[in-house]
Amino acid sequence: MWVSSGAPCENSAFISRTTGEVFYASCMYDTEGELPEDMEDATLYCAVPHKNDLDLGRNLVFRFVFECLPEQEHRVKDYFRRRGAYACFKELLDRTGHLEQWYQYEQKATKTALLAWAAEEGLNVTDEAAN
């Protein structure tokens, strides 16, 4: 959530491959604690990807609309041609009674993508961390 809360490269998080400790950095905000000096060593740390890197941005919206609201496809594509697209999209979902369905869809897709990413990185995810 931290990495994806801003624009790509605005917020960063790194996971220690040996301890599992997470380190946070931002070019916009002060973060607590110092980053390890060897942070750039990919054998010791892995960078948590932004949601767009995991195909969880607007492509996820379009997949949801295609699967669940195909009659709204043109409207939603029009929203994403200008600023404020997510707000318009969520207003549409609220009006049509699909907002909770979207949140569940997004949560499931996020969990699936993050678990696949963790497996690719060789990270061992516990049941507690996966929930």
Q: What is the pLDDT confidence band of residue 51, given thresholds at 50, 70 and 90? A: confident
CA-based nearest residue to 123, from 28, 30, 35, 15: 15
77 vs 36: which has the higher pLDDT: 77
pLDDT tens per residue, range 61-97: 999 999 999 999 999 999 999 999 999 999 999 999 9
- What is the value of pTM for the model shown? 0.79
Buried/exposed 107-124: b ≥16 CB within 10 Å, e otherwise: eebbeebbeebbeeeeee
What's the chain's average pLDDT?
A: 88
Delimit the domains of the chain by residue range: 1-48, 52-123
